[in-house]
């Protein structure tokens, strides 16, 4: 290496270190409060020579100068749309604009704008090789505080997905790239595939090495021996979720902090790396850094350059996940750059607003918004296997339910009359899976996510990710209540009150 090249290399390294130092000062300055740094993730990547090819977030700007729209919402009452921007250049989402626009109705996120000059905007995904038409995420389902400001993430449940099949500047073939996202370590499941990154342009599985996407969840494609219970930062390289090496890798022990920074780097010909860290504090852990799989098709990679969020490359859309921000880069980022981005992420202070529902020990009635009927244990049954339907309110304990925390933001739901637990029958994972009452088993089939939708709620099974749904939107007494992928309609929304 010549003296001139050494000097240039030193200047580039110095620039990254200077950025990192500036971020740390900005994050932990005299005020002691989290605030936006002067250099944001895409500024950090650009300075290091690996600029953002796409940058998506519903919570904040990812460039210090960005002053455009972050995402678009559509309200159910009149199908009108509104772009949600930032409060100031380089700042945080204007959540108040969404709250005002969506007041009294339901909104869904219809577009997530690319903040880079490539305009690789994500819209609701169409049918693919392994999934039908997707729906948008409910816009207020994932409240978050970031930089001291209210904002909303993207709440992915089965049937939710976003995609751009006609991109500009995204890596294709064996070109190198890096990807990171901030996700929830608690809102996960074991179904395919909560991905963000490079995918097929056709929406079909076109073979090994045609994807290069981050995956985060508890799905174990290969052996999980010695890796714990997850969730794990994995690489979806198509036809496999890779912990490292050829798929199974004991060094990838997972990360379950409330907020997670997940990273994937792939040089396209020989090497890939997986990293993860607590998005609220601390540094990154390298879970794998080594050779690409030698299983055929992965060396070299055959990337196609579409972008997917919330599903697999063929629209496998059974996953749960929460997305707050993420980027894809041109080129293979350095470890110093990764560390600088992690420092910026932790500096902004992702936190979860305090929940006001449910109150432990309180008995609630669950009233379907579409039918006006309440969730009911058929014939006041008390035996295991008692079916669930809807019925006009009778004022009895067969129609009352108590919520108990199961940890990680999940709940068990117990019928007051029988003392048995609301249960997903046989832990099935298909649309139409029945509900019943069963003695407590302590498993995910009896745990539920309760999510705000305006003034209403959706209730989603943790084990299979599907929502509690009134069959065919029926309004009569005795209509079965079962599970279905998210449809964004009032047949899956409930009023919950004592």
Looking up tokens 């539920």, which residue turns up? 448
Sequence-separated (6 or more) residues with CB below 8 Å from residue 46: 52
3-state secondary structure of 484: strand
Alpha helical stretches, state H, 235-370? 335-347
Pairwise CA distance, residues 160 & 195, whole Å: 12
User: How is residue 465 annotated by DSSP?
Assistant: -
State the first-to-last Cα distance of the chain, in angstroms, to the nearest integer: 74
| Residue 47 φ/ψ region, left for φ over 0, alpha for ψ in the -120 to 50 degree band, beta for the rest | alpha
Pairwise CA distance, residues 306 & 154, whole Å: 19
* Residue of 164, 238, 376, 436 marked active site: 238
Establish whether 314 is a catalytic residue: yes
Helix (H) or strand (E) holding 46: helix 41-47
Establish whether 238 is a catalytic residue: yes
Crossing angle of helices 3-27/335-347, nearest 10°? 20
Pairwise CA distance, residues 275 & 267, whole Å: 15
* Residue of 134, 177, 205, 314 marked active site: 314
3-state secondary structure of 363: coil
3-state secondary structure of 15: helix
Q: Is residue 70 within 8 Å of 116, Cβ to Cβ?
A: no
Q: Is residue 227 within 8 Å of 250, Cβ to Cβ?
A: yes
- The residues carrying an active-site annotation are 238, 314
């Amino acid at each position: 290496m010549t003296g001139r090249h050494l000097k240039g290399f030193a200047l580039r390294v110095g620039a990254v270190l200077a950025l990192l130092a500036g971020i740390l000062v900005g994050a932990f300055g005299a005020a002691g409060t989290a605030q936006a740094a002067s250099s944001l993730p895409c500024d950090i990547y650009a300075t290091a020579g690996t600029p953002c090819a796409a940058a998506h977030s519903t919570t904040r700007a990812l460039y210090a100068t960005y002053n455009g729209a972050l995402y678009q919402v559509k309200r159910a009452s009149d199908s009108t749309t509104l772009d949600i921007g930032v409060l100031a250049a380089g700042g945080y989402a204007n959540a108040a604009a969404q709250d005002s626009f969506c007041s009294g109705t339901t909104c869904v996120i219809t577009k997530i704008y690319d903040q880079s000059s490539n305009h690789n905007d994500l819209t609701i995904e169409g049918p693919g090789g392994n999934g039908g038409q997707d729906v948008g995420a409910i816009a207020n389902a994932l409240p978050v505080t970031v930089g001291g400001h209210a904002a909303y993430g993207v709440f992915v449940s089965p049937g939710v997905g976003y995609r751009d099949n006609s991109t500009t500047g995204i890596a294709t073939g064996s070109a190198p790239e890096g990807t990171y996202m901030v996700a929830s370590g608690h809102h996960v499941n074991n179904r395919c595939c909560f991905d963000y990154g490079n995918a097929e342009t056709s929406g079909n599985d076109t073979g090994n090495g045609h994807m290069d996407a981050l995956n985060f969840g508890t799905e174990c494609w290969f052996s999980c021996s010695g890796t714990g219970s997850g969730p794990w930062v994995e690489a979806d390289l198509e036809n496999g979720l890779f912990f490292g090496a050829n798929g199974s890798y004991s060094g990838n022990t997972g990360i379950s902090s409330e907020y997670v920074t997940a990273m994937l780097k792939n040089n396209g010909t020989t090497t890939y790396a997986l990293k993860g860290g607590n998005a609220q504090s601390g540094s990154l852990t390298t879970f794998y850094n080594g050779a690409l799989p030698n299983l055929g098709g992965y060396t070299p990679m055959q990337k196609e350059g579409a972008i997917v969020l919330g599903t697999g490359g063929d629209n496998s859309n059974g996953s749960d996940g929460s997305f707050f921000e993420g980027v894809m880069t041109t080129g293979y980022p350095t470890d110093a750059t990764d560390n600088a981005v992690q420092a910026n992420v932790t500096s902004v202070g992702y936190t979860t607003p305090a929940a006001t529902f449910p109150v432990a020990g309180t008995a609630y009635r669950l009233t379907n918004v579409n039918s006006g009927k309440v969730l009911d244990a058929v014939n006041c049954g008390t035996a295991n296997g008692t079916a669930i339907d809807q019925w006009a309110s009778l004022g009895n304990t067969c129609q009352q339910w108590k919520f108990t925390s199961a940890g990680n933001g999940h709940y068990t739901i117990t019928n007051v009359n029988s003392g048995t637990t609301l249960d997903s029958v046989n832990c099935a994972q298909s649309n139409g899976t029945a509900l019943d009452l069963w003695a407590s088993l302590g498993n995910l089939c009896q745990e539920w996510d309760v999510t705000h939708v305006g003034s209403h709620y959706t209730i989603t099974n943790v084990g299979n990710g599907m929502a509690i749904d009134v069959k065919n939107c029926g309004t009569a007494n005795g209509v079965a209540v079962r599970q279905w992928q998210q449809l964004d309609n009032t047949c899956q929304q409930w009023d919950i009150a004592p």
